Structure formats: structure tokens, C-alpha cells
């Protein structure tokens, strides 16, 4: 019998979208806020996440107070693009990491730094626990902003790329648990932005997270880097999809996305050659809300 992990990998590899970060079930505009280091430090994993005093740009909650969702910035306010990277690790993948599997990608982070390319990293709490020094380094670097990708990387809807599912009554604590993991890793500041594992969400999930002060961040450009072996094909897909205000989704996980560093080395200079300015997600959200 095929194991759960292999089944997830097989499903994701067969799909044209990103593994565990492919197309979501719904996509609407929204924004999310970040808890301050001091608020996180005094909060337990089950305590509400309080917004940072610096007030990163956020979107107004949707109808009924639902968590807002953001997919891309304005198309008419300059050629900007946000590169985002999901640092995926599910709650039960510790044995694989102990056996030598790399869920991190320090080479990718070093490349972004060398290129002076701003980026937003959506990190799971389990990833931060496994690589606390890297989490702290990313979260302390002003070139980057660190955001929430859940604690467990379990899905918030059924039938999401074969991922295990978070029960509705644990969705909120799963997000809060990631912020707690960041705090324990020594991350000084995490943004109030949340990316659903697999990009999968529905009204129940948006309702469960309402009141946390976060914005769900999706994307409009799927890089296709998950399980890709042809870096050139991924480069073509990214460059072919980018428009002003785009949010590109890639991965910061060597085992699942081994070509991403090479992709970035090609994509960043070409985007700049085409007149694009690389920004963080908060910059796009600020432009959308006219608060940048």
C-alpha cells in the first residue's frame, strides 16, 4: 500500500499546478496583518494574534467579517511583482527530515540576497521548528518578510491535493500555532499574512479565521516549480504569466522543488530587464489600499 506521503507526492506531481500549493478553491481580494514580536511572546498558541503596532497594510474583511483574500496588486500602478516562496513541511514529516531529506533551501535564500531580490516567505510552524536558525535569519532580514503558512501544512478543505485535513474547530489554533513556532525560533516579526496550504479554502475556512487579523494571500502566477526537473520550463511559465501587480508562488523546499534556485537566477534579472520592480506582498497590498 502506498504511504500517505508518497500518495501526496504522486497526486501533486501528476497535477499541472504546484504540489500542495496549487490552485485554490476560491480566489477573491484580501489582505492580512502581522503579530508583533512582543504580542506573540506573551501569547500562548491558542491566544488571538494581535496586529503589529507598525500596522502593515491590510484589506478590509469581507462580507460578514470573513477573512479577506488577496491575489494580486493593482495592474495600473506601475510594473511591480511580488515573488513568494512557500517553506512547506507537514507536521508528520519529522522522520524524513531526520533521515536527511531537505525541506529547507539555504542556497535559494543566499541567491535572493545576492540578487538583492525582495521576497515574502510563507513558512509553516513545523518548518520553523526544524530550521529555527534559518527561520530567525529570514525573519530578521529586511530584504524579506516572513508570513504564516499554517503550523501543520494540513488542508483547510477536503480534497486538497491529498493533504490531511485540519478540523474546522482547529483551524484557528493551527494558524496561531505557527506564529508561536516563529516566536520560539526567535523570529522578531512575522507578518499578518496567511497562505492556505494548497491554496485551498472555502467559506467555512474564511469564517474560522475571522477575527485573527490576518489576510489570506493567494497568487495569480503559478510557477510550476514543485517537483519540476526542467528549470527552463519553469522560467518560461513565470515570465509568461507575470503582469503588473502579480504575485508569483514558488517554493523554499529543496526536496520538493529542486530547480527553484536556478529559476530565480534567471527570472530576477529578466524581470528587471523588462522594467519590473520586485516588491514584497505588503507593498502590493499597500498599493491596493492606497497606503503604501
Q: What domains are there in the chain, each with its CATH number?
A: 4-288 (3.20.20.370)
pLDDT given at position 38: 32
d(CA 277, CA 235): 17
Model pLDDT, residue 176: 98
* Average confidence (pLDDT) per 10 residues, the chain, 292 residues: 38 38 38 35 35 72 95 96 98 95 98 98 98 98 98 97 96 98 97 98 97 97 97 98 98 97 98 98 90 38
Question: What backbone phi and psi angles, to 5 degrees, belong to 52?
Answer: -70, 145
Give the pLDDT confidence score for residue 279 in this predicted structure: 98
Predicted local confidence at residue 18, as pLDDT: 41
Cα gap 147→212, rounded to integer Å: 14
**pLDDT attached to residue 29:** 28
Rounded Cα gap, residues 82 and 118, in angstroms: 8
Kindly report the pTM of this predicted structure: 0.84
* CA proximity to 118, closest of 149, 94, 141: 141
Instruction: For 247, list phi and psi in degrees, rounded to 5.
Output: -115, 120
Residue in 95, 188, 209, 100 with CA at minimum distance from that of residue 144: 188
pLDDT of residue 252: 98
Amino acid at each position: 500500500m502506498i504511504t500517505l506521503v508518497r500518495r501526496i507526492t504522486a497526486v501533486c506531481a501528476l497535477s499541472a499546478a504546484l504540489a500542495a500549493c496549487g490552485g485554490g478553491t476560491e480566489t477573491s481580494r484580501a489582505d492580512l496583518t502581522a503579530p508583533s514580536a512582543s504580542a506573540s511572546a506573551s501569547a500562548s498558541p491558542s491566544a488571538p494574534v494581535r496586529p503589529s503596532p507598525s500596522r502593515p497594510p491590510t484589506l478590509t474583511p469581507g462580507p460578514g467579517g470573513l477573512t479577506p483574500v488577496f491575489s494580486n496588486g493593482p495592474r495600473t500602478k506601475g510594473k511591480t511583482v511580488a515573488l513568494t516562496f512557500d517553506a512547506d513541511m507537514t507536521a508528520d514529516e519529522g522522520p524524513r527530515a531526520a533521515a536527511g531529506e531537505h525541506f529547507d533551501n539555504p542556497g535559494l535564500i543566499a541567491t535572493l540576497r545576492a540578487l538583492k531580490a525582495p521576497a515574502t516567505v510563507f513558512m509553516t510552524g513545523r518548518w520553523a521548528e526544524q530550521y529555527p536558525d534559518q527561520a530567525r535569519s529570514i525573519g530578521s532580514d529586511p530584504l524579506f518578510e516572513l508570513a504564516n503558512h499554517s503550523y501543520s501544512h494540513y488542508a483547510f478543505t477536503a480534497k486538497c491535493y491529498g493533504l490531511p485535513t485540519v478540523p474546522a474547530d482547529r483551524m484557528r489554533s493551527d494558524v496561531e500555532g505557527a506564529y508561536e513556532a516563529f516566536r520560539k525560533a526567535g523570529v522578531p516579526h512575522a507578518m499578518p499574512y496567511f497562505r492556505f496550504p494548497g491554496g485551498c479554502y472555502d467559506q467555512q475556512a474564511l469564517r474560522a479565521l475571522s477575527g485573527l487579523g490576518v489576510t489570506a494571500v493567494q497568487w495569480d502566477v503559478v510557477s510550476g516549480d514543485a517537483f519540476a526537473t526542467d528549470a527552463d520550463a519553469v522560467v518560461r511559465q513565470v515570465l509568461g504569466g507575470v503582469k503588473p501587480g502579480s504575485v508569483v508562488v514558488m517554493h523554499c523546499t529543496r526536496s520538493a522543488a529542486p530547480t527553484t534556485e536556478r529559476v530565480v537566477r534567471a527570472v530576477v534579472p529578466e524581470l528587471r530587464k523588462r522594467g519590473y520592480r520586485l516588491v514584497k506582498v505588503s507593498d502590493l497590498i499597500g498599493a491596493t489600499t492606497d497606503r503604501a
